[in-house]
Homo-oligomer: A and B are copies of this chain.
Amino acid sequence: MKRVGIVGARGYTGRELIRILLKHPAVRLTYLAATLDDPQPISRIFPEFVGQTDLACEKFTLTRAVKQCDLVFLALPHTVSLSVVPKLMARRLKVIDLSADYRIRNCGTYERWYHKAHTDLLNLKRSVYGLPELYRERIKKAVLVANPGCYPTAAILGCAPVLAAGCVDPKDIVIDAKSGVSGAGKKATLDYSLAELEGNFKGYKFAAHQHAPEIDQELTKLAASKVGVVFCPHLLPVSRGIFETIYLRMTKNMSLEKVHDLYRKFYKGETFVRVKPLGESPELKHVNQTNYCDIGLAMDASRRLLIVASAEDNLIKGASGQAVQNMNLMIGSPETTALL
Protein backbone atom coordinates (compact mmCIF):
# COMPACT_ATOMS: atom_id res chain seq x y z
CA MET A 1 0.00 0.00 0.00
CA LYS A 2 1.64 3.20 -1.22
CA ARG A 3 1.06 6.40 0.69
CA VAL A 4 0.27 9.30 -1.62
CA GLY A 5 -0.25 13.01 -1.10
CA ILE A 6 -1.55 15.95 -3.08
CA VAL A 7 -0.07 19.42 -2.85
CA GLY A 8 -2.56 21.93 -4.22
CA ALA A 9 -5.53 19.83 -3.19
CA ARG A 10 -8.05 22.62 -3.28
CA GLY A 11 -8.29 23.19 -7.03
CA TYR A 12 -10.23 21.26 -9.65
CA THR A 13 -7.41 18.88 -10.52
CA GLY A 14 -6.86 18.32 -6.80
CA ARG A 15 -10.50 17.43 -6.38
CA GLU A 16 -10.39 14.94 -9.26
CA LEU A 17 -7.23 13.36 -7.87
CA ILE A 18 -8.94 12.87 -4.50
CA ARG A 19 -12.04 11.39 -6.14
CA ILE A 20 -10.00 8.88 -8.12
CA LEU A 21 -7.47 8.00 -5.42
CA LEU A 22 -10.19 7.28 -2.84
CA LYS A 23 -11.28 4.43 -5.13
CA HIS A 24 -7.78 3.07 -5.66
CA PRO A 25 -7.18 -0.27 -3.91
CA ALA A 26 -3.38 -0.06 -3.87
CA VAL A 27 -2.79 3.42 -2.49
CA ARG A 28 -3.77 5.31 0.59
CA LEU A 29 -4.38 9.03 0.40
CA THR A 30 -2.44 10.30 3.39
CA TYR A 31 -1.65 13.94 2.84
CA LEU A 32 -3.41 16.97 1.42
CA ALA A 33 -1.85 20.40 1.30
CA ALA A 34 -3.00 23.81 0.10
CA THR A 35 -2.42 27.47 0.89
CA LEU A 36 -4.44 27.54 4.08
CA ASP A 37 -3.70 29.20 7.39
CA ASP A 38 -5.34 26.50 9.45
CA PRO A 39 -5.98 22.90 8.53
CA GLN A 40 -9.52 22.07 7.58
CA PRO A 41 -11.27 18.88 6.54
CA ILE A 42 -11.18 18.52 2.77
CA SER A 43 -14.90 17.73 3.04
CA ARG A 44 -15.48 21.33 4.15
CA ILE A 45 -13.82 22.53 0.97
CA PHE A 46 -15.53 19.94 -1.23
CA PRO A 47 -18.80 18.89 0.46
CA GLU A 48 -19.17 16.05 -2.05
CA PHE A 49 -16.56 14.17 0.01
CA VAL A 50 -18.57 14.18 3.24
CA GLY A 51 -18.86 10.58 4.32
CA GLN A 52 -15.99 9.53 2.07
CA THR A 53 -12.94 10.93 3.76
CA ASP A 54 -12.08 12.74 6.97
CA LEU A 55 -8.67 13.79 5.77
CA ALA A 56 -7.64 17.34 6.62
CA CYS A 57 -6.06 19.71 4.18
CA GLU A 58 -3.16 21.67 5.65
CA LYS A 59 -0.43 24.15 4.79
CA PHE A 60 2.39 22.47 2.90
CA THR A 61 5.54 21.63 4.86
CA LEU A 62 8.34 19.49 3.56
CA THR A 63 8.62 17.60 6.82
CA ARG A 64 5.00 16.53 6.76
CA ALA A 65 5.06 15.62 3.08
CA VAL A 66 8.16 13.48 3.55
CA LYS A 67 6.79 11.82 6.65
CA GLN A 68 3.37 11.04 5.18
CA CYS A 69 4.06 10.13 1.57
CA ASP A 70 5.88 7.82 -0.79
CA LEU A 71 4.64 9.71 -3.82
CA VAL A 72 3.29 13.22 -4.22
CA PHE A 73 1.09 14.84 -6.85
CA LEU A 74 1.71 18.53 -7.37
CA ALA A 75 -1.42 20.32 -8.54
CA LEU A 76 0.14 23.75 -8.28
CA PRO A 77 0.09 26.82 -10.51
CA HIS A 78 2.75 27.04 -13.18
CA THR A 79 6.13 28.27 -11.83
CA VAL A 80 5.27 27.27 -8.25
CA SER A 81 6.28 23.62 -8.72
CA LEU A 82 9.78 24.82 -9.57
CA SER A 83 10.43 25.60 -5.93
CA VAL A 84 8.81 22.47 -4.49
CA VAL A 85 10.04 19.71 -6.77
CA PRO A 86 13.77 19.97 -5.90
CA LYS A 87 12.99 19.66 -2.19
CA LEU A 88 10.82 16.59 -2.64
CA MET A 89 13.26 14.98 -5.04
CA ALA A 90 16.09 15.58 -2.61
CA ARG A 91 14.17 13.53 -0.07
CA ARG A 92 13.63 10.73 -2.58
CA LEU A 93 9.91 11.07 -2.97
CA LYS A 94 8.43 10.24 -6.32
CA VAL A 95 6.68 13.21 -7.87
CA ILE A 96 4.02 13.68 -10.50
CA ASP A 97 3.86 17.35 -11.38
CA LEU A 98 0.72 18.60 -13.08
CA SER A 99 2.15 22.03 -13.87
CA ALA A 100 4.07 23.00 -16.99
CA ASP A 101 7.33 23.44 -15.08
CA TYR A 102 9.04 20.22 -16.14
CA ARG A 103 7.38 19.74 -19.51
CA ILE A 104 9.33 22.19 -21.64
CA ARG A 105 12.82 20.93 -22.50
CA ASN A 106 14.11 24.26 -23.74
CA CYS A 107 14.68 26.69 -20.89
CA GLY A 108 14.53 29.70 -23.16
CA THR A 109 11.12 28.63 -24.39
CA TYR A 110 9.97 28.03 -20.83
CA GLU A 111 11.10 31.48 -19.76
CA ARG A 112 9.53 33.17 -22.75
CA TRP A 113 6.10 31.68 -22.09
CA TYR A 114 6.02 31.45 -18.30
CA HIS A 115 8.05 34.60 -17.57
CA LYS A 116 10.40 32.93 -15.15
CA ALA A 117 13.84 31.46 -15.53
CA HIS A 118 14.04 27.71 -15.00
CA THR A 119 16.03 27.06 -11.83
CA ASP A 120 16.10 23.29 -11.64
CA LEU A 121 17.87 21.92 -14.68
CA LEU A 122 18.96 18.82 -12.81
CA ASN A 123 15.43 17.57 -12.30
CA LEU A 124 14.24 18.90 -15.64
CA LYS A 125 16.68 16.39 -17.17
CA ARG A 126 15.41 13.52 -15.07
CA SER A 127 11.75 14.25 -15.73
CA VAL A 128 9.72 12.12 -18.11
CA TYR A 129 6.84 13.52 -20.16
CA GLY A 130 3.89 11.58 -18.79
CA LEU A 131 1.94 10.51 -21.83
CA PRO A 132 1.68 6.74 -21.23
CA GLU A 133 0.54 5.89 -24.74
CA LEU A 134 3.89 7.20 -26.04
CA TYR A 135 6.35 6.89 -23.18
CA ARG A 136 5.10 3.99 -21.09
CA GLU A 137 8.42 2.28 -20.46
CA ARG A 138 10.22 5.43 -19.43
CA ILE A 139 7.37 6.41 -17.10
CA LYS A 140 7.63 3.05 -15.32
CA LYS A 141 11.15 3.94 -14.27
CA ALA A 142 10.59 7.64 -13.68
CA VAL A 143 11.00 9.39 -10.36
CA LEU A 144 9.63 12.66 -11.71
CA VAL A 145 6.80 12.78 -14.21
CA ALA A 146 5.82 15.98 -15.99
CA ASN A 147 2.14 15.39 -16.52
CA PRO A 148 1.05 16.75 -19.92
CA GLY A 149 -1.20 19.77 -20.35
CA CYS A 150 -4.84 19.27 -21.23
CA TYR A 151 -4.70 20.80 -24.70
CA PRO A 152 -1.42 19.03 -25.59
CA THR A 153 -2.78 15.61 -24.55
CA ALA A 154 -5.66 15.79 -27.01
CA ALA A 155 -3.45 17.31 -29.70
CA ILE A 156 -0.62 14.81 -29.42
CA LEU A 157 -2.85 11.74 -29.27
CA GLY A 158 -4.79 13.12 -32.23
CA CYS A 159 -1.71 13.65 -34.41
CA ALA A 160 0.67 10.92 -33.30
CA PRO A 161 -0.23 8.11 -35.74
CA VAL A 162 0.08 10.15 -38.93
CA LEU A 163 3.04 12.22 -37.78
CA ALA A 164 4.96 9.13 -36.72
CA ALA A 165 4.10 7.45 -40.01
CA GLY A 166 5.25 10.49 -41.94
CA CYS A 167 2.15 10.77 -44.05
CA VAL A 168 1.23 14.36 -43.29
CA ASP A 169 3.07 17.63 -43.75
CA PRO A 170 4.56 18.47 -40.34
CA LYS A 171 4.86 22.12 -41.32
CA ASP A 172 1.17 22.69 -41.83
CA ILE A 173 -0.93 21.75 -38.81
CA VAL A 174 -3.94 23.76 -37.68
CA ILE A 175 -5.53 22.97 -34.32
CA ASP A 176 -8.91 24.53 -33.64
CA ALA A 177 -9.39 23.80 -29.93
CA LYS A 178 -12.43 24.24 -27.70
CA SER A 179 -12.31 23.94 -23.92
CA GLY A 180 -14.72 24.06 -21.00
CA VAL A 181 -14.09 26.70 -18.33
CA SER A 182 -12.59 24.41 -15.70
CA GLY A 183 -9.54 24.36 -17.94
CA ALA A 184 -8.73 27.79 -16.58
CA GLY A 185 -8.66 26.52 -13.01
CA LYS A 186 -10.77 27.42 -10.00
CA LYS A 187 -10.87 31.16 -10.25
CA ALA A 188 -13.03 33.99 -9.03
CA THR A 189 -13.19 36.04 -12.20
CA LEU A 190 -16.09 37.78 -13.84
CA ASP A 191 -15.07 36.28 -17.18
CA TYR A 192 -16.10 32.82 -16.06
CA SER A 193 -19.34 33.85 -14.40
CA LEU A 194 -22.38 31.97 -15.67
CA ALA A 195 -24.03 35.37 -16.17
CA GLU A 196 -21.28 36.16 -18.70
CA LEU A 197 -20.97 32.74 -20.30
CA GLU A 198 -24.48 31.32 -20.62
CA GLY A 199 -25.00 30.76 -24.31
CA ASN A 200 -21.68 32.38 -25.14
CA PHE A 201 -18.71 31.24 -27.21
CA LYS A 202 -15.51 33.05 -28.08
CA GLY A 203 -11.89 32.58 -29.09
CA TYR A 204 -8.90 33.63 -27.03
CA LYS A 205 -5.12 33.80 -27.41
CA PHE A 206 -5.26 32.79 -31.07
CA ALA A 207 -1.80 31.65 -32.12
CA ALA A 208 -0.52 32.87 -28.75
CA HIS A 209 -1.46 30.29 -26.07
CA GLN A 210 1.15 28.98 -23.64
CA HIS A 211 0.31 25.38 -24.53
CA ALA A 212 1.47 25.92 -28.11
CA PRO A 213 5.21 25.41 -27.41
CA GLU A 214 4.44 22.19 -25.51
CA ILE A 215 2.44 20.89 -28.46
CA ASP A 216 5.19 22.05 -30.79
CA GLN A 217 7.91 20.26 -28.82
CA GLU A 218 6.05 16.96 -28.62
CA LEU A 219 4.86 16.90 -32.21
CA THR A 220 8.37 17.72 -33.35
CA LYS A 221 9.63 14.65 -31.46
CA LEU A 222 6.97 12.52 -33.12
CA ALA A 223 7.59 13.86 -36.60
CA ALA A 224 11.35 13.80 -36.10
CA SER A 225 11.41 17.18 -37.83
CA LYS A 226 10.40 20.68 -36.78
CA VAL A 227 6.66 21.09 -37.02
CA GLY A 228 4.60 24.18 -37.76
CA VAL A 229 1.45 24.37 -35.67
CA VAL A 230 -1.22 27.06 -35.52
CA PHE A 231 -3.13 26.64 -32.28
CA CYS A 232 -6.42 28.53 -31.77
CA PRO A 233 -8.26 27.90 -28.50
CA HIS A 234 -11.89 28.81 -27.82
CA LEU A 235 -13.99 28.88 -24.66
CA LEU A 236 -17.01 26.57 -24.57
CA PRO A 237 -19.87 27.46 -22.23
CA VAL A 238 -19.52 24.14 -20.40
CA SER A 239 -17.83 23.14 -17.20
CA ARG A 240 -15.48 20.50 -18.56
CA GLY A 241 -14.16 18.83 -21.67
CA ILE A 242 -11.79 19.59 -24.50
CA PHE A 243 -12.53 19.07 -28.19
CA GLU A 244 -9.89 19.70 -30.81
CA THR A 245 -10.45 19.72 -34.54
CA ILE A 246 -7.10 19.23 -36.21
CA TYR A 247 -6.44 19.91 -39.88
CA LEU A 248 -3.52 18.01 -41.41
CA ARG A 249 -2.33 17.93 -45.00
CA MET A 250 -1.72 14.44 -46.37
CA THR A 251 1.56 14.00 -48.20
CA LYS A 252 0.75 10.48 -49.27
CA ASN A 253 -2.17 9.43 -51.37
CA MET A 254 -4.01 7.42 -48.74
CA SER A 255 -7.73 6.81 -48.46
CA LEU A 256 -9.56 7.71 -45.29
CA GLU A 257 -10.00 3.99 -44.65
CA LYS A 258 -6.25 3.46 -44.74
CA VAL A 259 -5.67 6.31 -42.33
CA HIS A 260 -8.35 4.86 -40.07
CA ASP A 261 -6.54 1.53 -40.08
CA LEU A 262 -3.34 3.29 -39.22
CA TYR A 263 -4.95 4.90 -36.17
CA ARG A 264 -6.56 1.64 -35.09
CA LYS A 265 -3.23 -0.14 -35.26
CA PHE A 266 -1.33 2.64 -33.56
CA TYR A 267 -3.70 2.53 -30.58
CA LYS A 268 -4.27 -1.21 -30.55
CA GLY A 269 -4.12 -2.37 -26.95
CA GLU A 270 -4.47 1.14 -25.58
CA THR A 271 -7.40 1.16 -23.17
CA PHE A 272 -7.77 4.89 -22.97
CA VAL A 273 -7.67 5.90 -26.61
CA ARG A 274 -10.71 4.95 -28.61
CA VAL A 275 -10.72 5.47 -32.36
CA LYS A 276 -14.32 6.06 -33.49
CA PRO A 277 -15.84 4.21 -36.42
CA LEU A 278 -15.73 6.27 -39.62
CA GLY A 279 -18.68 8.60 -39.89
CA GLU A 280 -18.89 9.25 -36.15
CA SER A 281 -17.65 12.26 -34.23
CA PRO A 282 -16.34 12.05 -30.70
CA GLU A 283 -18.57 13.84 -28.20
CA LEU A 284 -17.67 15.43 -24.91
CA LYS A 285 -20.43 13.51 -23.16
CA HIS A 286 -18.79 10.20 -24.07
CA VAL A 287 -15.48 11.14 -22.47
CA ASN A 288 -16.41 13.48 -19.64
CA GLN A 289 -15.91 11.92 -16.20
CA THR A 290 -13.67 9.29 -17.83
CA ASN A 291 -9.99 8.82 -18.68
CA TYR A 292 -10.73 8.20 -22.36
CA CYS A 293 -9.54 10.24 -25.29
CA ASP A 294 -11.85 9.59 -28.25
CA ILE A 295 -10.60 10.24 -31.76
CA GLY A 296 -12.64 10.60 -34.95
CA LEU A 297 -11.44 10.96 -38.53
CA ALA A 298 -12.73 12.55 -41.70
CA MET A 299 -11.13 13.64 -44.94
CA ASP A 300 -11.65 16.17 -47.65
CA ALA A 301 -10.38 14.00 -50.45
CA SER A 302 -10.18 16.66 -53.16
CA ARG A 303 -7.90 18.80 -51.03
CA ARG A 304 -6.24 15.84 -49.27
CA LEU A 305 -6.97 17.40 -45.93
CA LEU A 306 -7.22 14.99 -43.00
CA ILE A 307 -9.54 16.18 -40.24
CA VAL A 308 -8.96 14.68 -36.81
CA ALA A 309 -11.37 15.30 -33.93
CA SER A 310 -9.95 14.54 -30.51
CA ALA A 311 -12.00 14.77 -27.29
CA GLU A 312 -11.18 14.25 -23.62
CA ASP A 313 -12.16 15.41 -20.17
CA ASN A 314 -9.64 18.16 -19.49
CA LEU A 315 -9.62 17.32 -15.77
CA ILE A 316 -9.23 13.54 -16.21
CA LYS A 317 -7.31 12.39 -19.29
CA GLY A 318 -6.15 16.00 -19.58
CA ALA A 319 -4.89 16.12 -16.01
CA SER A 320 -5.73 14.02 -12.94
CA GLY A 321 -6.74 10.76 -14.59
CA GLN A 322 -3.61 10.75 -16.68
CA ALA A 323 -1.61 11.54 -13.53
CA VAL A 324 -3.06 8.45 -11.84
CA GLN A 325 -2.40 6.43 -14.99
CA ASN A 326 1.22 7.54 -14.66
CA MET A 327 1.24 6.68 -10.96
CA ASN A 328 -0.06 3.21 -11.73
CA LEU A 329 2.87 2.67 -14.07
CA MET A 330 5.33 4.04 -11.52
CA ILE A 331 4.09 1.87 -8.62
CA GLY A 332 3.50 -1.28 -10.61
CA SER A 333 -0.30 -1.30 -10.41
CA PRO A 334 -2.29 -2.30 -13.46
CA GLU A 335 -2.41 0.82 -15.60
CA THR A 336 -6.20 1.17 -15.56
CA THR A 337 -6.67 0.78 -11.80
CA ALA A 338 -9.27 3.24 -10.45
CA LEU A 339 -9.69 4.68 -13.93
CA LEU A 340 -12.48 2.54 -15.40
Contact = CB atoms under 8 A, between A and B. Distances in A.
Interface stretch (A29-37, A58-66, A151-159, A228-236): A228-236
Contact of A192 (B193, B232, B282): B193
A181 B207 contact: no
Contacts of A241: 199, 201
Given A52-B340, A202-B282, A292-B51, A176 B303 contact: no
A180 B193 CA distance: 12
A130 interface: no
A189 B192 contact: no
Main secondary structure of the interface of A (DSSP, over half): mixed
Contact of A181 (B193, B206, B245, B305): B193
A239 B48 contact: no
A286 interface: yes
A183 to B, nearest CB: 9
A52 to B, nearest CB: 7
Closest 3 CB pairs of A and B: A206-B298, A203-B281, A198-B239
23 contacts: A23-B340, A47-B280, A48-B287, A50-B274, A172-B303, A181-B194, A187-B190, A188-B190, A189-B193, A194-B194, A198-B199, A198-B238, A199-B285, A199-B288, A200-B238, A200-B284, A201-B238, A202-B284, A203-B243, A207-B298, A207-B300, A208-B298, A232-B298
